[in-house]
Amino acid sequence: MHTTHDIKNLLDIQDPNITFSDACVEIKQDRGKVCKFISATLTYTPTHCAVCGMKNEHFSVIKNGTQTSRITLPLTGMHRTFLLLKKQRFFCKRCSCTFVARSSIVDRHCFISNQTKARVTMKATERNPSR
Ligand SMILES: [Zn+2]
């Protein structure tokens, strides 16, 4: 519980459906560079099917595995930091479709991730002064 609270404050994540376990920060090599990986889980009970829109009644929408996304975090520090978000997958018995748990933070961090890319481009430009 404490871990989730502290890390959420650190990463500025407010989504109550995202939890962090103890020892969720791992430092390992990624393509020859040392990176930090923070693991989190996103899960909840959906009120409706995201595909057909039918209400989740009598367990019509069930949990069906997970899907992990790697999101670049805009943390400053020695190493690049990624959030490994394990997202709950759901299966709707009514329409026989699967869908993945959603979180506003994922979109937000994708946006920040794009900002990070823009910054890298700007830095690369700075190295080549215009004549
Ligand atoms: Zn459905």
CB 68 within 8 A of CB 86: yes
In a domain, 85, yes or no: yes
Could you give the number of structural domains in the chain?
1
Distance 68 CA to ligand 1 centre (A): 22
Distance 104 CA to ligand 1 centre (A): 21
- Provide the residues around ligand 1 (an ion) whose CB is within 5 A: 49, 51-52, 92, 94-95
Neighbours of 83 (CB within 10 A): 25
Per-residue pLDDT of the chain (131 residues; tens, 9 = 90+): 567 888 888 888 888 999 998 888 899 998 898 999 999 999 999 999 999 999 999 999 999 999 999 988 876 678 888 899 999 999 999 999 999 999 877 655 555 555 556 665 655 555 555 44
User: Comparing C-alpha atoms, which of 62, 113, 53 is closest to residue 88?
Assistant: 62
In a domain, 41, yes or no: yes
What integer pLDDT is reported at residue 5 of this predicted model? 84
What integer pLDDT is reported at residue 123 of this predicted model? 58
What integer pLDDT is reported at residue 62 of this predicted model? 97
Question: Over the range 14-47, which residues count as b (16 or more CB within 10 Å of their CB) and which as e?
Answer: ebeebbbeeebeeeeeeeeeeebbbbbbbeeebe
Distance 49 CA to ligand 1 centre (A): 5
What integer pLDDT is reported at residue 52 of this predicted model? 97
Structural domain boundaries enclosing 76: 2-126
DSSP 124: H
DSSP 87: E
Distance 99 CA to ligand 1 centre (A): 9
Distance 82 CA to ligand 1 centre (A): 32
In a domain, 131, yes or no: no
